[in-house]
Amino acid sequence: MKRIFYFNITYGCNSNCIFCYSHNTWHNAQPHNEMTVEQFFEYLDDKELSAKDRVIVNGGEPLMHTEIGKILGGLLPYGCEVLIYTNGRMITNYDLSCLNENFRFIIPIHGYEEIHDSITRVKGSYQETIAGLKYLVEQTNCPVDVKLILNNRMIEEDPSGDRTLQAFEREILFDHAIHLTKMADTIVSAQNGCKTISNDDASRFMKIFFDYFSQRNVKIKIFDSCIKSMEWMRSCELERDREALIVYFKDRNQYRIMDLTRNRMDCMADCPFADRCMSAVDEYKALEFFENRLYENLE
């Protein structure tokens, strides 16, 4: 059984993304509703955390936690895999050189600079994220992933994807995997009148970016998006992940075991790709492509 411990350690954030996944977050660049370091490690010790487990550190913006250094440094002796979901804007404020290859950073990019800043609603956020990626790749041993989130602004202003790909060529650094997904409908996106992209647009853009990164032999993780434009996947053998999975969620005030059952969408009824349609949000699975092999894997 693979165990994942998912933490929202703070609900403060220094961005104000138009489709934020966390409607409990305060977007005033101040820590909010933090877990204490003691709560964090008492919970893991009670669960007898081992090197075989995965710990996810999220928020809000986790690097806003007032004792983030103690949390990350305190995880080192356990030898487990640690994923840090961060917008990357504060990375250069910290010395992360003590972290090792067990610590993987996953950082979202919403398109080229103007689109990215319009999605986060913070001017200059893109350049801060770029600086964070550069620091991680060049000055730490931590694997670095970029999560490219397809959105309507990208489709409207970069319909060929060329400007976004030029940004990758020029300045978006990572050294482990590219995550391809699309903006999700959330409580916050509904409040802002921002709808996710259609399956047709998602599929078309997915193919543009998949082709680009696969030609460069980059590990690709696809989830919560439409792949129907990639006809070859119908006949490609999919290597299934057979290991049972359990995900524990914890923040300051609650904990629970997450329900990994995904609601079946109407479009899946007659779709030939339905068995390859995965959601990291609901099922905690991703479709992974690397070295001409297709896997079912974790994000």
Closest CA to 25 of 187, 147, 146, 149: 187
pLDDT band at 261; cut points 50, 70, 90: confident
Q: Which of 44, 46, 48, 53 is nearest to 80 (CA)?
A: 53
At residue 159 the predicted structure's pLDDT band, cuts being 50, 70 and 90, is very high
Contact 80, 50 (CB under 8 A): yes
Length of the chain counted residue by residue: 299
Phi and psi for 177 in degrees, rounded to 5?
-155, 155
User: In this predicted structure, what is the pLDDT of residue 165?
Assistant: 98
Query: Are 226 and 203 within 8 A, CB to CB?
Result: yes
- The percent of residues in the chain predicted with pLDDT above 70, rounded, is 100
Q: Report, as an integer, the average pLDDT of 188-212.
A: 93
CATH 3.40.50.970 fits 2-297, yes or no: no
**Tokens read off for 3:** 């165990």
Q: Which residues of 62-81 are buried (b: 16+ CB within 10 A; e: fewer)?
A: bbbbebbeebbeebeebebb
Q: Distance between CA atoms of 112 and 162, rounded to whole angstroms?
A: 10
The yes-or-no verdict on residue 267 having pLDDT over 90 is no
Closest by alpha carbon to 88, among 122, 60, 129?
129
What is the chain's mean pLDDT, rounded?
94
- Interatomic CA distance for residues 260 and 113, integer angstroms: 34
Over residues 15-28, the mean pLDDT reads 89
Is the model's pLDDT at 281 over the cut of 90?
no
Cα distance between residue 190 and residue 38, in whole Å: 36
Average of pLDDT values for 104-113? 98
- Taking the domains of the chain in order of start, what are their residue ranges? 2-297
Average pLDDT over residues 159-164: 96
Rounded to two decimals, the pTM is: 0.96
**Stretch 156-167: mean pLDDT:** 96
Q: What is the pLDDT of residues 23-79, one digit of tens each?
A: 888 888 888 899 999 999 999 999 999 999 999 999 999 999 999 999 999 999 999
Given a contact cutoff of 8 angstroms between Cβ atoms, the answer to whether 73 and 65 are in contact is no
From the list 245, 272, 267, the residue with the least C-alpha distance to 258 is: 245
pLDDT exceeds 90 at position 123: yes
- State the pLDDT confidence band at 279, using cuts at 50, 70 and 90: very high
Q: What pLDDT is stored for residue 21 in this prediction?
A: 87
Indicate the burial class of 210 (C-beta count within 10 angstroms; 0-12, 13-18, 19 or more). Answer: buried
